[in-house]
Structure 1
């Protein structure tokens, strides 16, 4: 009898393994690339990931970090869009080499930060990115340090930053960095690229007005203009559009080590999404676009919005010194992406400490619509790009004024 039970137990275990294995294999093979990820840009919720923690070369996707630093410097009034940048001979040498992404910047000619910024994102112009890095007088080495600092602020802890462009160190000609291998190049994980992309579109959404342009004109010198096409073939009217998705960015990347890479962003039914495909397999560079198409199609077919609600206790908060004791908070209901048929969630309102007293009560007055904290959502079906809970803004749905003396004593 014991042998029969043991045999049945072994058989049951084998059946479970056989049933479970195809699901894992199918998920691993869905995107034909070394690494891929898809997230909700607003909440950071991961919708799909495949080997997203492997550190890989990212080529010109690096320029997203470069322009993030520039956006910060403009925001802090260290630069302006109209700041003029004079092109050095070393930058011109890179900018006019047809082996690279060349736009032909002229030595001794000056271009505005806006012109260089647009060229960096639309044409992926290597010389323009190098010129941006030196816009405030910084050396390439100093700008690399700014990029590393920005990456850490975003939450990227293990990026390799060699230059603002994404080329191998040896390809920078007279600008290559001493003490670094000629073959060294920028690298990070797909999750890191998603974090970087999320930071850029959340903090500087106007960047999408640039990345969504199918083509643009650039003035190289007086009387000499050049029209360039955006390398993103998934923009509206492009070859690889996806029905129902309005893609308006973000950045391609290509190198021998990185292969064909692409970080995209687009909107579907009012929700902004971000995808990353690193090292799409095959010799066709457009594989990065066909694999990105698969990500969006997977999302459309499999993602469902799960409505979650605060219970009665969670939807109220005790208030001290007000005209009434209990404050109604919200939103009462909100949604997360559900990728499994069954999933369990934990909802926890978290109030800002500076708004509460030693009894964990809010202090009156509280205004309607005032941001009070966040609603943290965790669950078996939820993962986020920054490894934190999905958070929803927690707000007051009514106003409670500071009470009179009797009300303050009573409440």
Structure 2
């Protein structure tokens, strides 16, 4: 369990054990697709035509199937929706080939993205999390039929944190309790979200607003679930891999236990010193401005007594003397503050990070004010 905003590890058990993760793998696929959208390699409205090999998987009832039709075209937006709400295997494979890549080429992108994100124990066989043999005609000869994707709970948390921070719009998809999908002429299907912890669902936790993220199930992976939600203004991520027992809902009851544990975990306040709460401004109509937060929040009952703080301003908001550059909008993000302490665990081994925002608007000053400042 991780605070997605700061990177603090709130709870962990066997976080570095590498395990099969089944459809949790689709989070990495979506991360690569998001990169391709940002780079304009594809757009949300790009049409992807379904091949017979993809259709064979999309129509196999033993898989997470949605019935995409060979020869029919679907937009990237529709395929992302199907991949994240229904966990549709065929739709995910179609996404992987949206820019003309084959499965082997897309695997290389997945592997590079995992490396870039610092996933230390991540093995990629395909974009969906099926075994290699389950890909039918799309399986790759270099892997055994039983080979499948694997990573650690820590890797999955790093991946989920990256995704919700860099691609927050994905939560509008994963928060849907159900979605309708156009399959072909005169054929539309409605599918329920596989996440049973959304508001009003069976495993909802009071006080926690869960809006994602991804389930996964296979014989080797067992029941897996990566969740994210808001609690007391903090975005939380949980990862449960290989939930024990034959009940697939054990992943949800275990996640419930994590959130209930969180509700018993106090938040400590560390008040920033005055020299950090107020910052010098260049070219403004005033010489200083207040920033927020004024206090940093840390999970845990054990007092954090030994720590260091460092402020890093966004490059475009800082002059050569290290001052904030006017004009500054109220509530504008101006940088981040890092807190390092031997008493705190973080998901990536780096300091806790907190976004910094301007408390007030600072217009650009006139000539004499700029000269004076």
TM-score of the pair, normalised by structure 1: 0.82
d(CA) in 2 for partners of 1:231, 1:110: 25
- Does structure 1 residue 254 correspond to structure 2 residue 238? no
5+ residue gaps, structure 1, are 1-37
| CA offset digits 1:338-365 (Å, max 9, x no partner) | 31233224242334496354xx653765
d(CA) in 2 for partners of 1:339, 1:168: 40
- Does structure 1 residue 48 correspond to structure 2 residue 29? no
8 Å CA contact retained: 1:280, 1:287: yes
Please show how residues 341-352 of structure 1 align to structure 2 within 5 Å: 341-352=302-313
Q: Hey, which bits of structure 1, 4+ residues long, moved more than 6 A?
A: 318-324
d(CA) in 2 for partners of 1:246, 1:298: 16
Secondary structure, counterpart of 2:264 in structure 1: helix
Q: Which of the pair has more CA radius of gyration?
A: 1
| Greater Cα offset, 60-69 or 327-336 | 327-336
Secondary structure, counterpart of 2:155 in structure 1: helix
d(CA) in 1 for partners of 2:307, 2:367: 35
d(CA) in 1 for partners of 2:284, 2:215: 55
Secondary structure, counterpart of 2:195 in structure 1: coil
Q: Which residue pairs with 2:264 in the alignment?
A: 301
8 Å CA contact retained: 1:260, 1:285: yes
Q: CA deviation at 1:44?
A: 1.6
d(CA) in 1 for partners of 2:53, 2:41: 24
Please show how residues 313-392 of structure 1 align to structure 2 within 5 Å: 313-316=275-278, 327-331=288-292, 333-352=294-313, 355=318, 357=320, 361-362=322-323, 367=328, 373-392=335-354
8 Å CA contact retained: 1:258, 1:279: yes
Q: CA deviation at 1:183?
A: 1.6
8 Å CA contact retained: 2:183, 2:189: yes
- Does structure 1 residue 126 correspond to structure 2 residue 94? no
d(CA) in 2 for partners of 1:321, 1:263: 46
Q: Which residue pairs with 1:30 in the alignment?
A: none
d(CA) in 1 for partners of 2:207, 2:343: 25
TM-score of the pair, normalised by structure 2: 0.89
d(CA) in 1 for partners of 2:158, 2:19: 15
Cα distance, 1:93–1:377 mapped onto 2, change above 3 Å? same
Q: CA deviation at 1:200?
A: 1.5
d(CA) in 1 for partners of 2:249, 2:114: 28
| CA offset digits 1:206-253 (Å, max 9, x no partner) | 212211222222222211222221111111221111111111111100
CA RMSD for the aligned pairs? Answer: 2.6
Cα distance, 1:299–1:109 mapped onto 2, change above 3 Å? same
Q: Which residue pairs with 2:195 in the alignment?
A: 232
Q: Which residue pairs with 1:7 in the alignment?
A: none
For these two proteins, the number of residue pairs brought into alignment is 368
d(CA) in 2 for partners of 1:39, 1:112: 34
| Greater Cα offset, 146-155 or 121-130 | 146-155
Please show how residues 137-156 of structure 1 align to structure 2 within 5 Å: 137-156=100-119
Cα distance, 1:317–1:128 mapped onto 2, change above 3 Å? closer
